Every structure is written in C-alpha cells, then in structure tokens.
Chains A and B, each alone.
Chain A
Amino acid sequence: MTSLLQLTPEEKDQLAELLNIGVAHAGTTLSQLVGQRTTISVPTSSLRNSMSAAHFIGKSEDITLAVLLRISGGLDGYVFLLFPRETTVHLLHVLSGKKVGDLRALDAFDRSVFQEVGNVLTGGMLQGFEKFLHCTLHHSVPDVVIDMGGAIFNSLTATMFARHEEFFSLDVTICVNPDPDAADCHIGEEVTGRMYLFLGPDAVKDILALTSKIVS
C-alpha cells in the first residue's frame, strides 16, 4: 500500500490542482441550486493518520446536520458535508421556504432537501474530477444524519482509520450569500458549512497514476 507521507512535492501539486478544479465546480453548482452567491474557500488538504486523531472543528455537543456520500467508479472515497444549525436553517429556508428553529424537527422532506444539496455539491465536484482525470465517477445516495457534531465526525473518522492507517483529507468552507465585499469565506460567518473529501492511499495512487499519464 502506498504511504501518503511519501508523496513528492510534484505529486502534492497534482493533487492540489485536481482538488481545486473539483471544488470550483462544486461551488458553481451549489450557487445555481440556491440562487444566491456562494463562495468556497481554497481547499486545505491534509494527511491524517490514526495516531493524530482528527478533531472536530466547532462545538462537539452542538446539533449538526451531516451528509455522507460514497464515491465509486474510477476512485473510491467519501464526501462528507457538515452544516451547523444556522447554516441548515438558512439553506432549508432558501431551498424550500420552510422555517425551523430546531434541527430535531426536520422531517423526511427536509432531510431530502439536504440529500439534494449533497447530490449537487458532490456531483459538481466529481464532474470537475472527471474532466480532469478522464474517468467515470459515481456517488451513492446521500446519507443524512442529525446529531451532535463531535459524535458524527468521530464516527466517520473512526471508520476511515479502521480502513486505512492514513488517509488524505480535503477540507473546505462553504459560505452562502456572504458579504458582497468579502473575497473569501471566513470561519465563524453565520452561514457556513464544511466539506471533506476522504481518500485512502489506493485512491490517491490511482489519481497520481491518471494525472501522470495525462501530464506525460
């Protein structure tokens, strides 16, 4: 199995380029869905391993909505979206006109709205990847979970650690209808979400093989 810690600077650049393209596509499709300006931060990628357990960003006890999708086809991995309460409430209002105060009150229809958000964001990102890598990618039906953010995040990372001793993680911040003068997302802004892409060593190896083929 390839160790991600052995990636060369060129390989890291290749990955960064791919991720930038994917994230840009995801931002465009989300903007079309919500009909508002959206911005997505420059992706931060990191290598995570099971000795440096991932820590949840935010208050671990806060009720949070999460959407999880599995990627298959040319690559295997997971896309994970995390929306705090304010973002969830805002997105639901924008997309369905419904106002809720407590995420625990979300019904099956509301959850399906966030499945669609997951489809759109992930579909957009995979479209970007497909164009770059010249391969076919699919994603699963989204799984929507509402619970404490820390419990959700820890459950996901535990599964990732159980499968791969180390994995590649992409972390972006999504802002819906941000300050018009703002050029970038700011963490702490009222309407923000986070998007993670988890890829194991084999998926990274596949990406590098494809990009090397294209470059050469």
Chain B
Amino acid sequence: MIDMSKTIEIRIAELFAGDHEYTIVTNGVGSCVVIVLYDALARVGGMAHAILPRSRGELYQKVTRDADGRLFAKYADTAIDLLVLEVEARGASRDNLVAKLVGGAHMFTLLDGDKHGIGFENTEAARTRLTELDIRIETEVIGGTVGRNVYFDCATGVVEIITKV
C-alpha cells in the first residue's frame, strides 16, 4: 500500500492544521504543552506546541508568521484560539472538536520548586482556554519529569507519544 500521508514537523511555539493527509510531529516536549484539536467527522486536526501559559490579553499581537508561511504562537491561550481558527478554515466544526493535551513536564526541581512550575502553568492555561471555548478535553498525558515526542495522525485522530528515559 502506498503511504500518501504528508508529515509536518512543528517547532517550539509553532502550530499547524491539516486534513486527513497529514501527520503532525513535534519533538522534545518538556515543560511546553502540546495541544491537539481534532474533528473526527471532517477528519481535520491541528497541533500547537506552546511554550508559555498566557498572553495577558495581547492575543493577536503574539502571533507571527515566518517567510515560509509557518505560524507561531508561543502562548497556550493564543495558540488554542489560532488553532481553532486554522482547523475551522480547513473544514472542521467547532461543535465536533475534541482536544488532547501532552507535555507540561517538570524536568528541573531547581527551577520550579516542588510542585508548580512552568509546565503546570502551561497545562492550566490550556485547560482554562479550552473550557472557555467549550472544547472537551478527551485525553491528557501531562506532567511527570520526562520529555516527550508527539505524533498526531490527522486521518485517525490517534496521538502517539514517545519517551526516551
């Protein structure tokens, strides 16, 4: 069988949306939070790799597009807003969207104290924004102390997570 899927790797603070032809990949997810949105009926999905929690109201000033047309949004709340628009533009319906969250690890005890660090804040910001937009969080693989690679198949909605330690 010929594999017709196109694989797109997104970098830190980047986001991408595509139809069933796409597999979206992001590597080296530590305290960042990866937000995956999927409409199973339209078979359209998207992924954002957010580095910081909240944009403090300056929503669209924090979005950039590079010379190749790649979209960047470093804040979790801004990234979700933009990702919703991107998947809707490709045929997804807001009512059918479900979310999956990955990341938010706590890798350095020295940086974050014992409990709450940037990983926790990123996760909370993503949860809050998704709740505000009434998008159900279907699955979470959040926290812990390890880094993750994330693969998202837009044809099936399956998210595969790989850890190395």
A residues whose Cβ falls under 8 Å from a Cβ of B: 50-51, 53, 55-56, 60-61, 63, 68-70, 78, 104, 140, 143, 145-159, 161-162
Contacts and interface: CB of A to CB of B under 8 A. Distances in A.
A115 to B, nearest CB: 11
A158 B28 contact: no
Given A50-B74, A148-B27, A159 B12 contact: no
Interface SS, B side: loop
A68 B108 contact: yes
Contacts of A157: 51
B28 A148 contact: yes
Given A55-B12, A56-B28, A147-B165, A155 B64 contact: no
A152 B30 contact: yes
B118 A53 contact: no
B121 A155 contact: no
B11 A143 contact: no
Interface string B1-30: 000000000011100000000000001111
A68 B32 contact: no
A145 B107 contact: yes
Contacts, number: 108
Given A53-B13, A61-B149, A140-B110, A149 B28 contact: yes
Contact of B111 (A53, A55, A147, A156): A156
Main secondary structure of the interface of A (DSSP, over half): mixed
Contacts of A51: 64, 74
Contacts of B118: 155, 158-159, 162
Given A156-B108, A159-B111, A55 B11 contact: yes
A51 B72 CA distance: 9
A162 B119 CA distance: 11
Given A53-B74, A147-B147, 7 more contacts: A53-B51, A61-B28, A140-B110, A145-B145, A154-B30, A154-B32, A158-B52
A158 B51 contact: yes
Contact of A63 (B13, B74, B117, B165): B165
Contacts of A143: 108-111
Given A61-B164, A147-B164, A159-B118, A152 B147 contact: yes
A128 to B, nearest CB: 22
A156 to B, nearest CB: 7
A182 to B, nearest CB: 31
B165 A155 contact: no
